[in-house]
Structure 1
C-alpha cells in the first residue's frame, strides 16, 4: 500500500462559488483524517475532539457531550432571522476495511463504510463558510454532529437533550452521500424517503427427540419453516399493493446434529415500510402467525419486537427549498432524481417528527474510479469531489431560507 496520498481537487460543477471550491483540499483532508480514526456509536471521542478543535479555531460557539458524544455548534449571522439546523451523523461501522488506500482505517474492525466521515467533513465545511461570511446570510444555523446513527440511535437522545431549543429551531435539513446515485446527482422527494425500521427476535420451544421417531417430538425446525413461509403472506395479503413493505427473516438457528430433532429454534428479522399507518399492523400480524402455528403444534414461543426508527418523512415546503437549490447546482434537471427512495432506515426521522425538514441523497458513486461499492461494504468509498458540492447546497439552502415561508 502506497504511503502517498493523491488528492483529486477537481470540481465538476461550475455552480460552486470560489470560496467553497477553495475549501475542497481541506474538506478532503478532514474527511480522510476522520476516515482513518473511525469510532462506533456513542464512542466518537476522537471524532468529537477533532470537530471541537476546528470549531474553536473558527470562533464558533458549541456544546459538547450532548447525548454522550454529540456536538452542537451555533453560528449567528450579522442579521436577525430564523433558525435552521443542519444535521450530520459521525459514527462508523463494525466492519474490517478492505480498501488499499493511504487513508485506510487505523482502527481494527471499524470503518466508515456509510459515508458519515463525508457528512461530518461537509458539516465542518459549512461551519467554516458561515463563520467567515456572516454578512452573506441571515439568522442562525445550528449544526448538529450526531452520534450513533447506525445504532442504537443518537437523534432521539439529542432531541431529549434539547438540541432543537435555545434557540428554537424552525426547520432542519440533512444529506446522505449515496453510492446508489452517480456523483453530481441529487435525490430529493416530498413525503417518505426512507423506511421505518422494526426488528424482532423469536425463540420457538418444541420437544426434541430422535430424527427417526418424529411422532415423539414437536419439531421446532418444522415450526420455524411454517412460520417463515407464513410471514411472507403479510405483505402480499394484509397490506395494500399501493403501499411498500418488507418482512425479512435474516437469521434462523436450530439443531445440533443431523439425526436429532431440535427442541428449540431461534429466528430474527427486520420489518420495513413507508406508511406510518402500518406501524402496529405488521408487528401484530407477525405475532398472530407465530402464535397460531405454535398452538396448532402444541409448542410455545417468546417474541421480542421493537421499533428502531420511524420512516423518514420530508416536509413538502422544505423539500421545495432543497429541490430549488438542487436545480441550481446540478448541470441539468436530469441530475435531480425526484423519486429516489430506499427501504433503508435513518434516525433523521426523529428530527423530522419534531420540526419541518428535508433529508436528501447526494450522489457519490464514480464507476470510472472504482468508487461504486455499496454502503456497508468493506470496500465502500466515494468520490470526494462531491464534498464541496455538499457545502454549496447547504450554503444556498441557508441563504434562501431567510425569505422562505414554511
Structure 2
C-alpha cells in the first residue's frame, strides 16, 4: 500500500505523540493525564468540537461540507499494570504501568488522522467522530460509552478501529469478514469443603482434592461437549487454597477464562462449567459456587467494510486467521456495523517480536502511517455504498 505524501509528512509528529503518550501510561478510567494530552493536541490542530465523556473519554467531531455517513473511528487509551523492560529512552515514567498493548500507537495514529483531517477538510464526507476510549483492558469502556448514549448521541452509522499486531510483519494490513476475535468471559470457582487434620482426612471434606477433580473435569468440556468443527478455549490460570501442609483445606478458589467464536458455543461452555463444577464438588462432599464475568463479544467484521479495506490496502492486505484474543470494540459491533483490523509491526531484525502485554513490546512508528492511510481512504470508500 502506498502512503500518500501528505500522510508521510505526519511521521515526525506521530513519533513524538506516540513517545510522549508512552511515558504517561494510566490504567482504565484513570487516564486523566492522557486525556489532557489528547485535548491539547486536538486544540493545536484547530479542532474545537470536543466532548468529555465518562471523565476520561474524549470525542472530537468534524463536519464535512459533502453529504455522507457518520463514521466513528475509535482508539483505546488505557495501559496495563506491566513493568516496562524495553530500555528505550522514552520508557514509562509511571512505575508498574506500561503501554504494553500498543494503545500509545493507536492514539498516535488517531491524532495523526485528526491532524490530517484538520489540514484537509475537503476530504471529509458526512460527519467524522473520533473516539478516544478509556478502559479497553477493563472494565470495558466500550459498553460504558454505549450505555451512556455515545452511539445515539452522535448518530453513528459505522465504526472503525485498529490494533497494532506483532504476529504480522511491518506494513501488513490484516483483517477478515465475520468472526475475527473471540467472545470471552472470566470464571470464578469457590470450592467449600470442611477443614480437618491432615492425619485424619476422614473427618474433613478436602477442597483441594475436589478442586483437582473439577479442573480435570472441566477440561473435558472442549473435547467432549463442543463440536470438533468449532473452536473454544478453557484455561484456568490461578488457584489458591490451603493453610498448611498437614491440614485438609476447607476452601479453594480457582480463576480462569473461556473463549469462543460463537455465542452458541460460549453458552454451551457456560452451562457445562456450571453443571460439571457443582456436581463434581458434591461427589467429594464439597460445594462449588460458580460465578461468571461475561466480558466482550465476538469481533464480527462487516463483510462490505472488509472489502473496502482490502481494496485500499492492495498488496499489503492479508486475511488473518481468527484469534482467541478479545477486544471490547466488539461491543460496538453488537449495535452497528463495524470494521476492526490489524496493523503489522513485527520485525525480527530490529527485535520487534515481543507479544502483546509483554514488558518488552515495542515497534517502529513509521508503520502507524498505514493505519492513517487506511482511515483517510475509508472515508471515501465507505461512502460509495455497495
- Deviations 1:312-351, CA, capped at 9 Å, x for gaps: 1111111111121121xxxx3xx42213321111100011
Within-5 A mapping of 1:301-340:
301-327=288-314, 332=315, 335-340=316-321
Instruction: Output the aligned Cα RMSD.
Output: 1.3
**Counterpart selection for 2:113 from 119, 123, 126:** 126
1:101 aligns with 2:83: no
Residue in 2 that maps onto 1:242: 229
CA distance in 1, matches of 2:385, 2:113: 20
Cross-structure match for 2:366: 385
Report the 3-state secondary structure (helix = DSSP H, G, I; strand = E; otherwise coil) of the residue aligned with 1:293.
helix
Question: How many residues of Structure 1 are paired with residues of Structure 2 in the alignment?
Answer: 386
Aligned residue in 2 for 1:25: 12
- Cα deviation 1:167-200 (Å, max 9, x = unaligned): 4111111100001111111210001111111011
Residue of structure 1 in register with 2:189 after alignment: 202
Find the partner of 1:300 among 273, 287, 290.
Answer: 287
Could you say which residue in structure 2 is the equivalent of 1:358?
339
User: Offset of 1:24 from its aligned partner?
Assistant: 0.4
Q: Which string of whole-angstrom CA distances, capped at 9 and with x for unpartnered residues, describes residues 76-108 of structure 1?
A: 122121111111001000111111111000011
- Deviation per CA, 1:23-78: give whole Å up to 9, x if none: 00100000000001111111111111111111122222443331221011111122
Counterpart of 1:241 in 2: which secondary structure? coil
Once the two structures are superposed, what CA deviation does each residue of 1:136-192 show, in whole Å capped at 9, x if it has no partner? 342211111000000001001112222223441111111000011111112100011
Kindly indicate whether the alpha-carbon contact (under 8 Å) linking 2:278 and 2:290 is maintained by their aligned counterparts in 1: no
- For the 8 Å contact 2:28–2:139, the answer to whether it is kept is yes
1:210 and 1:166 map into 2 onto residues whose CA distance is 62
Q: Check conservation: 1:194, 1:312, Cα contact below 8 A.
A: yes
Using the TM superposition, name which of 280-289 and 101-110 deviates more.
280-289
- Equivalent residue in structure 1 for 2:21, among 20, 34, 47: 34
TM-score under structure 2 normalisation?
0.97
Task: Work out whether 1:373 is the aligned partner of 2:354.
Answer: yes
Separation in 1 of the partners of 2:363 and 2:273?
Answer: 38
Runs of at least 5 residues in structure 2 that lack an aligned partner in the other structure: none
Matches within 5 A, 1:52-201: 52-201=39-188
Match of 2:382 in 1: 401
Q: Does the 8 A contact of 1:72 with 1:163 survive in 2?
A: no
Higher mean Cα deviation, 94-103 or 336-345?
Answer: 336-345
TM-score normalised by structure 1 residue count? 0.92
Answer whether contact 1:227 1:293 (CA < 8 A) is retained.
yes
Pairing partner for 1:345 from 326, 329, 338: 326
Separation (CA, whole Å) in 2 of partners of 1:385 and 1:368: 16
Contact in 1 for aligned 2:278/2:289 (Cα 8 Å): no
Segment of structure 1 superposing worse, 182-191 or 272-281: 272-281
State the 1:119 CA deviation: 0.3
Aligned to 1:270: 257
Conservation of the 8 A alpha-carbon contact between 1:62 and 1:71: no
- Could you tell which deviates more after superposition, 67-76 or 210-219? 210-219
Greater mean deviation of Cα atoms: 52-61 or 105-114: 52-61
* Structure 1 gap segments, 5+ residues each: 1-12
Q: CA deviation at 1:282?
A: 1.1
- Structure 2 distance, partners of 1:300, 1:276, is 28
Cα distance in 2 between the residues matched to 1:192 and 1:275: 8
CA distance in 1, matches of 2:199, 2:82: 43
SS at match of 2:349: helix
